[in-house]
Amino acid sequence: MVTIAAIIYEPGSTNKNKTGSWRTFRPILDNKKCIKCENCYIFCPEGTIYEDKNGDFKINYDYCKGCLICVNECPVNALTSTREEK
């Protein structure tokens, strides 16, 4: 059933849509090299890079579309990319 006026009452519900399937290249983050500059975190168009409990940046591959902005913007090459195995 469609809601009245097609109003969406569930905020942020695109998170049901796992855009990770779009990826052809996978960014890989090496926390040992990371200096926590937050570049990858703030530039990600998906908000898919997050800080875990230990303060390490992680990539949520459920949503990462593989644009590789993060790889390009990491000042210390802590991010690299590899072709996605299908």
Partner 1 sequence: MEKIDIITGTTAAAMAAKLSNVEVIAAYPITPQSHCVEALAKYVADGELDAEFVKVESEHSAMATCIGASATGVRTFTATASQGLALMHEMLYIASGMRLPIVMLNTNRALSAPINIWCDQQDSIAERDSGWIQIYAEDNQETLDSVVQAFKIAEDEEVLLPVMVNIDGFILTHTVEPVAIPDEEKVREYLGIYEPKHAYLDPDRPITQGPVGVPECYMETRKDLNDAIEGSREVIKRVNEEYYKLFNRKYGNGLVEGYNLEDADTVLVAMGSVCGTIKYVINELKEKGKNVGLLRIRTYRPFPKEDVVEMLKDANNVAVLDKNISLGFNMGALGIDVSSVLKNKKVCNYIVGLGGRDITPQDIEEIISHVEGAKDGETKWINLKE
Partner 2 sequence: MMDKKQFPREEYFAPGHRGCAGCGASIVARMALKTTGRDTIVVNSTSCLEVFTTPYPESAWRVPWIHTAFECGGAVASGIERAIKALKKRGKYKDRKLVVMPIIGDGGTADIGFQALSGALERGHDIVYIMYDNEAYMNTGVQRSSSTPLFASATTAPAGKVSKGEDNPKKDMAMIAAAHGIPYVATACISYPEDFMRKVKKASDIEGPTFIHVLQPCTIGWGYSTENTIKIGRLAVETGLFPLYEIENGEFKITYKPAKRKPLKEYIRMQKRYRHLTDEDIEILQKHIDEKCRLLGLE
Q: Which residue has the tokens 């942020």?
A: 12
For 37-84, the three-class secondary structure string (H helix, E strand, C coil) is: CCHHHHHCCCCCEEECCCCCEEECCCCCCCCCHHHHHCCCCCEEEEEC
Q: Which of 61, 73, 80, 84 binds partner 2 (CB under 8 A)?
A: 73
Q: Is residue 74 a contact point for ligand SF4 (CB under 6 A)?
A: yes
Q: Is residue 17 a contact point for partner 2 (CB under 8 A)?
A: yes
Check if the beta carbon of residue 43 is closer than 8 Å to that of residue 69: yes
If the CB atoms of residues 1 and 85 are measured against partner 2, the closer one turns out to be 1
Q: Is residue 64 a contact point for ligand SF4 (CB under 6 A)?
A: no
If the CB atoms of residues 8 and 35 are measured against ligand SF4, the closer one turns out to be 35
Q: Choose from partner 1, partner 2, ligand SF4, none: what does 51 bind? Cβ within 5-8 Å by kind.
A: partner 2
